[in-house]
């Protein structure tokens, strides 16, 4: 059996993850038992949520045990199999880890995927994966936008945010996106069709509140929140009556050593607005429906998707940290083969 290279979590990060929290090790691939198959991982999805899985905290998934490879969705090819329904050469996707080889089990999370059904196999990690489904179900099921309403998207140039903005536009909404830097803001309007873009860098809460008011003069009916902190606080100050806030992520807080918290929740009372957390896993049974609709829009040229692919398991740490530095241009993916 081939040698495996694995990206282990060796220590729980305190604040920003540092390289010493991880270790790249070699290990033999195990012999397969009945019902198991060996996957050669070609791509791993790098997601902000992985930072939360590194903490020893009660969450929707157990913490990654220390000394084990960092949990990640992967796409790969079956290399050997003792499992019915999985044959060598077949493409599969599942919740595995950042490692060159993973062992799958019949009845587990790894399922066959069809490379012919998508423009690029990596689209299973972006448009047709958790990211795309978060955007689709988070926007339409949790935020319930109506045509003509104003939708504010934070983290708008990222994997989820860029799709949310385009979906809201397709739905007939006015869209305002917040992102870091002039280049990303240009991409929001030029590539993803946002009506207005706000660069949050160098702005305090008051300046952000004013910038949102200027970009959304009729107020904000929906916030699709990916960031938290003062960006969320500024959004709350601009809510319209009956507005909906879909709480998708709080990336600005993931590396904080102390909870941050929103300070302007009183605006929800004033505006009889609601805030609701969303978790993409709750919509797994409807992924087919979401993928079919998004595939149609993509084929019609109404939806573009950007992927940022870094190469090599040796680059797992710097590639992961791009998510927090904002240097990823689209869905962050690590190519492993």
- Which positions lie near ligand NAP, rule CB under 6 A? 47-49, 130-131, 134, 155, 157-161, 179-180, 184, 226-227, 248-252, 278-280, 323-324, 326, 328, 332
* C-alpha dihedral sign at 43, 336, 54, 326: negative
Contact call for residues 198 and 132 (beta carbons, < 8 A): no
Cα separation, 59 vs 52, in Å, equals: 8
Instruction: Report the length, in residues, of the chain.
Output: 337
Nearer of residues 118 and 279 to ligand NAP, judged by Cβ: 279
Paired strand residues for 177: 153, 197
**Nearest distance in Å: CB 1, ligand NAP:** 33
**Nearest distance in Å: CB 195, ligand NAP:** 18
Nearer of residues 103 and 291 to ligand NAP, judged by Cβ: 291
Nearer of residues 131 and 176 to ligand NAP, judged by Cβ: 131
**Both tokens assigned to 114:** 């069809």
**Nearest distance in Å: CB 40, ligand NAP:** 25
Nearer of residues 24 and 95 to ligand NAP, judged by Cβ: 95
**Nearest distance in Å: CB 129, ligand NAP:** 10
**Both tokens assigned to 231:** 């960006």
Cα separation, 112 vs 87, in Å, equals: 10
Cα separation, 139 vs 293, in Å, equals: 14
Nearer of residues 271 and 322 to ligand NAP, judged by Cβ: 322
Cα separation, 203 vs 87, in Å, equals: 54
**Nearest distance in Å: CB 320, ligand NAP:** 11
């Amino acid at each position: 059996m081939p040698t495996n290279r694995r990206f282990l979590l060796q220590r729980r990060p305190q604040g920003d993850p540092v390289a010493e929290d991880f270790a790249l090790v070699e290990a033999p691939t195990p012999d397969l038992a009945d019902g198991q198959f060996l996957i050669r991982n070609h791509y791993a999805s790098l997601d902000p949520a992985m930072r939360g899985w590194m903490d020893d905290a009660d969450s929707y998934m157990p913490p990654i045990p220390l000394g084990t490879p960092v949990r990640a969705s992967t796409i790969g090819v079956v290399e050997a199999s003792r499992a019915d329904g999985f044959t060598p050469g077949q493409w599969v996707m599942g919740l595995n880890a950042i490692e060159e080889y993973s062992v799958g089990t019949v009845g587990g999370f790894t399922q066959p995927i069809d490379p012919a059904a998508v423009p690029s196999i990596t689209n299973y990690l972006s448009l047709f994966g958790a990211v795309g489904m978060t955007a689709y179900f988070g926007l339409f099921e949790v935020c319930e936008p109506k045509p003509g309403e104003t939708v504010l998207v934070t983290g708008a140039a990222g994997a989820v945010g860029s799709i949310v903005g385009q979906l809201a536009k397709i739905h007939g909404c006015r869209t305002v996106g917040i992102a870091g830097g002039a280049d990303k803001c240009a991409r929001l309007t030029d590539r993803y069709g946002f009506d207005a873009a706000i660069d949050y860098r160098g702005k305090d809460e008051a300046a952000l509140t004013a910038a949102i008011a200027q970009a959304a003069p009729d107020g904000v009916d929906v916030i699709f929140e990916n960031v938290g902190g003062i960006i969320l606080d500024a959004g709350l100050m601009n809510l319209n009556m009956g507005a909906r806030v879909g709480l998708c992520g709080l990336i600005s807080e993931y590396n904080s050593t102390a909870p941050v918290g929103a300070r302007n929740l009183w605006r929800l009372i004033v505006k009889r607005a609601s805030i609701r957390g969303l978790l993409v896993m709750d919509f797994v049974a409807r992924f087919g429906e979401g993928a079919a609709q998004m595939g149609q829009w993509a084929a019609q040229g109404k939806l573009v998707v950007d992927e940022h692919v870094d190469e090599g398991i040796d680059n797992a740490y710097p590639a992961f940290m791009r998510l927090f530095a904002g240097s990823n241009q689209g869905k962050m993916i690590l190519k492993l083969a």
